[in-house]
Chains A and B, each alone.
Chain A
Amino acid sequence: MAISEPIVIPQTGEQDRLSRTWAEPRGFWGWFTNVHHTAIGVRFMVTSFIFFLLGGVLAALMRLQLARPENNVLGPDAYNQIFTVHGSTMIFLFAVPMMFQGFGVYLVPLVCGTRNIAFPRLNAFSYYIYVVGGGLLWVGLFLKIGADAGWFAYVPLSGPQFTPGKRSDIWAQMITFTEVSALGVAVCIATTILRYRAPGMTLNRMPIILWEKLTIALMVIFAMPAVMVDSSMLLMDRTINTQFFNPSVGGDALLYQHLFWFFGHPEVYIIFLPGTAIISTLVPAFSRRHIFGYLAIVSAVVATGFLGFGVWVHHMFATGIPQISDSFFTAASLMIVVPTATQFYCWMATIWHGRLQLRLPMLWAFGFFFEFLIGGLSGVMLASVPVDWQVHDTFFIVAHFHYVLIGGALFPMFAGLYYWIPKITGRMMNDLLGKVHFWLFLIGFNMTFFTMHFLGLRGMPRRVYTYLPEMHWGTLNAIATAGVAFMTAAVIVFLVNFFQSRKTGELAGPNPWAAGTLEWGTSSPPPPYNFAEIPTVNGREAVWDAEPDQPVVVGVRDDVPEVLVTHSMDSEPQYREELPGHSIWPFLTAIAVSIAFIWSIFSPWGITYGAIPVVITLIGWLWPRGSSPTPRLAERPREATWSR
């Protein structure tokens, strides 16, 4: 059953008022004022998918160049820019914005059973600022001043001495843009999960996807400031002659690596945990039973969140750090296996004890199990310092992290897209095309990246634009490049399927998978107010566990965009909150902030003068408008009442 199906006698008047109150603005300008989470979530998904396609084109160019020895498709300078922009795009403009922001912004309020995300204007602002940051990186590439010092832009290579010009500055400010965006969304998502859950959705009944999103949001909050600090130091070294990384006056290049990887390793989990969140949602849905080991999985997710901050030095084993650090960070890195394996075993047990339906999303989930396992196992190898030293900066590393990131994020992403696109568009994707997509991608992916393990073991370093025939790397490289053709075909099949299904796909209905979480308790696509009646929750799979007469919430105003705020722990109703409406100011503020950030690349005064329009637009954003009826203050009666 679906909770949103008429559980009260239809009240056209009420729903009309809700539709008017929550109506999304239309037209060209309307697009820039919309702050509803479903619109912004879809934009994050679409934009990041476009960046995925662009990053994929760069990957294909690199593979073409490496297909045979002494090839000349790309020169060394173009190759440097392309591998840097490829990596930066895939990590900062695709993986996090898709897996955390896109899925999170769209799904979290729906799974919570509320009508919008907390701080919807901050959420919209975060989208615009992300788009500008991504555009900045790519404009640089098109102008042939693309960043070229690798996606982590190590000093001294990226510093003023070895990379004059604006290349590293563009990279550094792209970081600022994307991290401001991710941090804004993290605040919105964490607040939504802690405060907007439907009554009855206590912490112990919270779907695992919400536990994961909350953990990831907190990881973003503690990890992303590190890369902002780091890239700002780099920018200041380059623009106002600070000496953070200049060893001749007490600076230190290794500090850059410490700060970067203090962010960079949690970042891996910020990308990977959303993948496991999708899997933990799909596995019970297609096994037709509640998840096995709920507490174990939640503990594993939270443990991963903590451990993720204690392993960053394993990226720096080859820098000559003290041996005690090697030992400590090896042990910490190996410990990560425990929570990850716990999740794996719980998924297996759920499938084992359930009635598995191998539908399309689940096929991709199996792809994830298989591919991520390979990435995880090579990760265990790399946690060992001697192995790490041997294969450091070779294609073995490239193979490892692509198995982790593509296996751990891209396979779950496609699983999630096939699962939730019917909710987003209201139409099912074609099953056969989906399977063609899966098998082409699986074959191509393994052709490309499994061979790289051998290339790495045979000594081929990463980030070289060509190699000599005498190295005998040609055949393996040719196989790797051929795999790209399969992956390209696979993604084209997906795009065809998507556009075709939007027009002619079978209508999905509210709950095509008969799944249990609350987003399936409303129509597909959801109305602008998400739920006609705010539900109450009786179990971990709210739709499955609902009593036949599961109560709904009444008394939330429908003449203003109001949501119900509940207690963080027991989700008892606390107060009703009017959310800010649609507004152009988040967009204008994003423009003002963008001007300041980009200006600062060219002049240190950019931030100072640029701050003036930022302040003006922020005042416009926050200045109260209209007059709402006198609110009831906290001293007034404050209980919610059950009645029949």
Chain B
Amino acid sequence: MEPVRERAVLDVSGLPEVMFGRSNTTWLGNVFYMMIEGTMFALLIASYFYYRTRVGSWPPGSSPPTLIWGVINGIVFLLSILPARYAQKVAPTGDRGRIRLALMGLAGFAIVSMILRGFELANLNVGWQESAYGSIVWSILGLHTGHLITEFIETVVILCVAFTDKMEGSRLADVAINSDYWYFVVITAVLSDFVIYGATRLL
């Protein structure tokens, strides 16, 4: 039986229990973590340019990283936006089949990127222990590889959830938020590429 109330109330029982997009609190938390990690990338990239001012020729004592693997991986990263966007589109529908398809596509792209990243690291043409330039280049790419692996694992875990009946409610919002994080990985990949492959040649 409804209790007898003696004053005005604000009844929120009609409100939804899950929201997608910017209203979602996890979305906001995710943005804060992107700000933290984005600051790390920014500081490493700033350090790269700082090191450039310390020596006469660039890259010092070594040749620039081999362009081809960076370019190919950059294209793969840009293409991977497609399954990420698709996942974001199908998540609110709760259609598990399509969600699985989208996540498998995203995980597939992540695997290809990780393999290509191995080739990138093998063709940086400098060791991290050789010079400050080598250290900073390895650090930028290493930080990004850490993000790539983390995002791959996260995608696989969400994919596993999508094979159970627990893929509902806030888990659907998680699928969409996972794509936001993937965009962050793509943006930082492209920025890192510009620095490691572009700035190294142009400066």
Query: Which residues of A are interface residues toward B (Cβ below 8 A)?
Result: 7-9, 11, 14, 118-119, 122, 183, 186-188, 190-191, 194-195, 199, 221-222, 224-226, 228-229, 233, 236, 240-247, 249-252, 255, 258-259, 262, 536, 549-556, 562, 564-565, 567, 573-578, 615, 619, 622-624, 627-628, 630-634, 636-644
Contact = CB atoms under 8 A, between A and B. Distances in A.
B153 A615 contact: yes
Given A7-B7, A552-B9, A259 B20 contact: no
Contacts of B47: 229, 244, 255, 259
B163 interface: no
Nearest to B164: A624
A514 B181 CA distance: 46
A595 to B, nearest CB: 18
Contacts of B92: 633-634
B132 A554 contact: no
B4 interface: yes
Given A221-B36, A242-B129, A630 B168 contact: yes
Interface stretch (B10-18, B97-105, B107-115, B116-124): B10-18
A608 to B, nearest CB: 11
Contact of A573 (B12, B40, B135, B170): B12
Contact of A8 (B6, B32, B134, B171): B6
A631 B18 contact: yes
Contact of A228 (B25, B40, B129, B134): B40
Given A627-B166, A634-B18, 14 more contacts: A8-B3, A225-B40, A226-B39, A228-B40, A244-B135, A245-B132, A252-B54, A259-B47, A552-B10, A554-B11, A555-B13, A555-B15, A632-B15, A642-B8
Nearest to B8: A551
A9 B43 contact: no
A199 B8 CA distance: 14
B15 A573 contact: yes
Contacts of B60: 249-250
B170 A578 contact: yes
A458 B156 CA distance: 65
Contacts of B166: 624, 627
A222 B128 contact: no
Given A221-B39, A229-B44, A250-B54, A577 B32 contact: no
A121 to B, nearest CB: 12
A627 B9 contact: no
Closest 9 pairs (CB-CB, A-B):
A555-B13, A242-B135, A631-B17, A251-B132, A250-B132, A631-B169, A551-B8, A241-B129, A225-B39
B28 to A, nearest CB: 5
Contacts of B17: 562, 575-578, 631-632
B9 A249 contact: no
A389 B124 CA distance: 44
A637 B92 CA distance: 16
A242 to B, nearest CB: 4
B128 A242 contact: yes
Interface in B47-73: 47, 50-51, 54-55, 60
Instruction: Kindly name the residue among A183, A240, A550, A624 whose own CB sees the greatest number of chain B CB atoms within 10 A.
Output: A624
6 contacts: A118-B25, A187-B36, A243-B129, A251-B131, A627-B166, A633-B94
A190 to B, nearest CB: 6
Nearest to B39: A225
Interface of B: 3-20, 23, 25, 28-29, 32-33, 35-37, 39-40, 43-44, 47, 50-51, 54-55, 60, 92, 94, 128-136, 138-139, 153, 157, 161, 165-166, 168-171
Nearest to B18: A631
Nearest to B20: A634
A191 B8 contact: no
B9 A643 contact: yes
B3 A9 contact: yes
A229 B17 CA distance: 39
Contact of A554 (B4, B10, B18): B10
A578 B168 CA distance: 13
A551 B7 contact: yes
Nearest to A644: B8
Contacts of B94: 633
Contact of A638 (B3, B14, B29, B44): B14
Nearest to A548: B7
A551 B32 contact: no
A250 B43 contact: no
B131 A640 contact: no
A14 B3 contact: yes
Contacts of B13: 554-556
B43 A576 contact: no
Given A226-B39, A228-B40, A243 B131 contact: yes
B11 A575 contact: no
Contacts of B35: 221-222
A187 B10 contact: no
B12 A229 contact: no
Contacts of B16: 575-576, 631-634, 636, 638
B5 A8 contact: yes
B28 A195 contact: yes
B19 A631 contact: no
A194 B15 CA distance: 18
B10 to A, nearest CB: 5
Nearest to B47: A255
Contacts of A536: 10
